[in-house]
Structure 1
């Protein structure tokens, strides 16, 4: 007889607590192999294909595309054993018990891989030590187990509820959601959840808090007749979730916590552009301009390590970091992302060019992993690709600084005492004023500008 096992949304790592279902890759009744991707989800960090650790027949899916689920919520059930692994229809599974996805040790070893999501924080052995019991509130009839039939799609149901707090049952799973509401003094019983079966998500709490702030700030109610129809309808609402929501949270935190300042300078990039052209004309892999700017940045950070740091606000300490993990801003159809080049200070121009190209393509395809998007210590922002000269970007929290590069265009410039047309770029540095003062920031930016104007300066430090 087949056993119906439940596969839950695994821990995706990097502190992520939820994910949105973007696209189902299997249907009810499909035969799946061990470690076959079954669903594509979007987290605040990246798009991820989630593989199922079981081989068998899909008997149920939980959550429609566009639904946001917390880690640990059911994704699907799979009938394994019997004829399931051979790809034929499962019979007699109506009385099979639905086991937790973590209790895969009950299944035959050939039907469970143990690799729920390799590299994303879930391992088979640790998962086998616990089971998930479905409370009687989840299924009418009150049993401690949920029955599923393999012959027909099972209706979507809510994730298993957790013990309610002493102040009454509240449909919320994530402890971060509870903490956010508690810190803001929000009664979760007054929040209407938008998740499965009314589950309260972080977005619901944030919307309730925003609505409360708006109501408090409103001076007086406006008669309905005086409100234009287009305003009364509320306009188009775009949820701040996924990558855009994560960016919004990070930028808001940066503006709240970091006392930033910006300095800038115009630089003659004619010689740098000439040096790049000479490198590429010599043969071998082409060197990108971004790679040369990255080399300049890493050498500048070696001279001014204060800017390759972060601030531990709880301990009131500046933490200077030993390695440069260089982030670079990349615009994608899903929003702004900042992939990170590890150990950028030890890489050659060719290695940097290759890594920038790889990460940029992954960003465009939406295949960056959470590890590709975290751990940066300094960011290089080439906003010149948008045709603008300058900007005052927001620091990528928890970093301490960001170098911005505008477009490189011909401009009138005094060169060797005479007016000439030169290729000029505006460079700007936004920095956390807690880690250094203007003298350090100005020294860093001046060194970068000198290397741009006279690439030979960089040779003295190699």
Structure 2
């Protein structure tokens, strides 16, 4: 007899608490193999294919494409032991699935009472990222708030109980710390919202809608503290009046044809990180022009010798690691809680890459221990993965210094924002022929502008200038790198 098991959205690592369903790879009734990818989701850092640890027949899917689910929410149910749809157990009447187009066949979670879990032949036993199938899943208490017949939209109580707005007892049905942080930053009282997620879960979209409607703590606290017998009567009028008054668009956003693009996924994370960097890091920028003629000639000679091609970005990366060895202050981060500068022993070199999904910064691990050839291969691999949307969260985190080659966009210079929590970023403009004084005579040379944006807490201008000058000297005389070998 087939056993129906529920597979939930696993922990995807790096503290990610939610993901958006981009594309289902299986349909109800399909037979899936153990560890077969069943859905493609987009997290805040990467596009990920999620494999199902069970083998059998898909009996239900939860969530349509475009739906955002928290970690731990059901993804699908699988009839383990069934080899075709006819082997599935008869469905039992019950509440509808999260996907209105699909009715689940009475899913039974692995590790639930009366279940011994899948046999070794029905599950991989692999401990994947955040989940596995080798042992029953521990039961967890779930918050099930009272359902309301009203539409799932932010709701403001007409008058909160006496005391602080958040003084009510009982847990708030929010899983994501990102949602809590968003609410905290905008002063939104989560207890005043009715979640639109499964079991009343408050999602990011609920908080964003509350922000747009002006549902903030100061507004709630300003309402009169009435006795309980008077609270129900004015609820409808107050709940509707506040959003109407606060939702009046500004003259800019009220323009006809204005398009709103949600700050979600990669774009949302980039926005948060850049805002945090600008808010927390006292940055400064210095720049210098350099003659890159010899560097370009050296690259041409290296590639003419045969073997794998070496990219210009790889040579610049090799120069960066050599410069960081001389100026380790710039390969560091600031721990403000401990009021310490933490100098890091390894150089994990990030590089800015533009993709169809926005700007991403893949990280080359242990770049200081790599040759130009190894750097070139790793840059190419990560760039291709970024364009294909297959970068993993591990590929996008842990950087200690960033190289930004904005010259590919045809610009000469820039003052980039530091990739928090790093301490510096080297920018490289386009390399173009320009008049240059070379050996005492005016000549046409290949000139590039280099800029260094650095955290002024980790070093002063002398260290930053010394780093940038060494980089420029290596660009002008690549043979200087031989001293670091």
TM class by shorter-chain length? Answer: 0.7 to 0.9
Instruction: Note the aligned Cα RMSD (angstroms).
Output: 3.1
Q: Provide the aligned length of Structure 1 versus Structure 2.
A: 429
Superposed displacement of residue 189, structure 1: 3.3
Cα 1:308/1:133, change in 2 over 3 Å: closer
Match of 1:186 among 170, 188, 213: 188
Is the contact made by 2:147 and 2:200 (CA closer than 8 Å) also made in structure 1?
no
Superposed displacement of residue 195, structure 1: 3.9
Alignment of 1:60-99 (within 5 A): 60-81=60-81, 84-85=82-83, 88-94=86-92, 98-99=107-108
Distance 1:27 1:68 in 2: 19
Matched, 1:112 2:123: yes
Query: Structure 1-normalised TM-score?
Result: 0.85
Superposed displacement of residue 209, structure 1: 4.3
Tell me what 2:203 maps to: 201
Cα 1:131/1:138, change in 2 over 3 Å: farther
Distance 1:460 1:336 in 2: 35
Moved more, 229-238 or 240-249: 229-238
Cα 1:404/1:215, change in 2 over 3 Å: farther
Distance 1:442 1:213 in 2: 49
Distance 1:375 1:229 in 2: 39
Is the contact made by 2:110 and 2:118 (CA closer than 8 Å) also made in structure 1?
no
Is the contact made by 1:328 and 1:339 (CA closer than 8 Å) also made in structure 2?
yes
Q: Secondary structure at the match of 2:254?
A: helix
Distance 2:215 2:447 in 1: 46
Distance 1:136 1:400 in 2: 44
Match of 1:391 among 385, 406, 414: 414
Matched, 1:131 2:139: yes
Query: Structure 2-normalised TM-score?
Result: 0.81
CA deviations on 1:114-166 (whole Å, 9 max, x unpaired) are: 336x3x232335x62412577887999xxxxxxxxxxxxxxxxxxxxxxx995
Distance 1:228 1:343 in 2: 50
Is the contact made by 2:2 and 2:87 (CA closer than 8 Å) also made in structure 1?
no
Superposed displacement of residue 446, structure 1: 0.2
Tell me what 1:43 maps to: 43
Q: Secondary structure at the match of 1:428?
A: strand
Distance 2:440 2:327 in 1: 31
Tell me what 2:450 maps to: 427
Moved more, 287-296 or 193-202: 193-202
Superposed displacement of residue 190, structure 1: 3.3
Cα 1:194/1:426, change in 2 over 3 Å: farther
Q: Which runs of 5+ in 2 are unaligned?
A: 94-104, 149-165, 219-244
Distance 1:2 1:112 in 2: 13
Matched, 1:304 2:327: yes
Tell me what 2:59 maps to: 59
CA deviations on 1:284-342 (whole Å, 9 max, x unpaired) are: 11111011001100000000000000011110100000000100000000111011111
Superposed displacement of residue 179, structure 1: 5.3
Cα 1:307/1:105, change in 2 over 3 Å: farther
Is the contact made by 1:99 and 1:132 (CA closer than 8 Å) also made in structure 2?
no
Q: Which runs of 5+ in 1 are unaligned?
A: 141-163
Matched, 1:451 2:457: no
Alignment of 1:147-166 (within 5 A): 166=168
Tell me what 1:100 maps to: 109
Tell me what 1:364 maps to: 387
